[in-house]
Structure 1
């Protein structure tokens, strides 16, 4: 009798865990009009099976060269990252960064689609599919920021994606 209850409790815990980690729901509004940075050390953005997108949440109020005040280099431990700006109308800015030097692609040539049934994001460049990714986990993180109060840390969002193609 006790063995059956232990199995039932274990089963219930497994269901709760799977729903909380893998059952997170995502919508197009989670991405439209948002900017993110992604690790690209050793070409990780194009090669890795999982990608962690960190949301820019602390926009600068001035016209400095650096639009945001998060310290990507300190967070990632290096200066190789990709910036993705999900614009309205499925347009996208897409830039490789190496220590704040950027190589960008014209947003007219880059676009993104969100499939609301599967939550898969397709990213296109020059009308060619570049990648398909699926968000699987969202969590709050703290990142150092030059504009943050309370000791220099800002709470933002990190979303883990699984590469589909």
Structure 2
């Protein structure tokens, strides 16, 4: 599969030790950014793909759906894996599992406004509880050696 080169005006960026040759990043979108879609977007020049949001408890249990969302093809690398949750210990454990599987970046979802996610005190609900949000970030950063990023929004709804 031939990948198009980045436009000349776009310069590489670094997220910690991760070089993103083309600073066009595919955002995580549940139900959209599955592996076939990510591979297609990568072919057309995406420098970094982020997986669909994966609940950290499901990732720890290695459910079929979480493993499917966490899978990627080598053509997509580097890959950022997005986790959601409200338990610092679970977030840290899920992040470590995915670092061990080769994720280049761990992304914490603090932006999803979907009621099901917010009712579970995850996603954008974390913007209402900044101490918990800080604990999630701190636990995740301590658990992994890869960069940790956060997808967030202003407000929570």
TM > 0.5 fold call: no
Q: Which has the larger share of helix?
A: 2
Could you state the TM-score of these two structures normalised by the residue count of structure 1? Answer: 0.27
The structure with more radius of gyration = 1
Q: Which has the larger share of strand?
A: 1
Could you state the TM-score of these two structures normalised by the residue count of structure 2? Answer: 0.28
Bigger relative CO (Cα 8 Å, ≥ 6 apart): 1
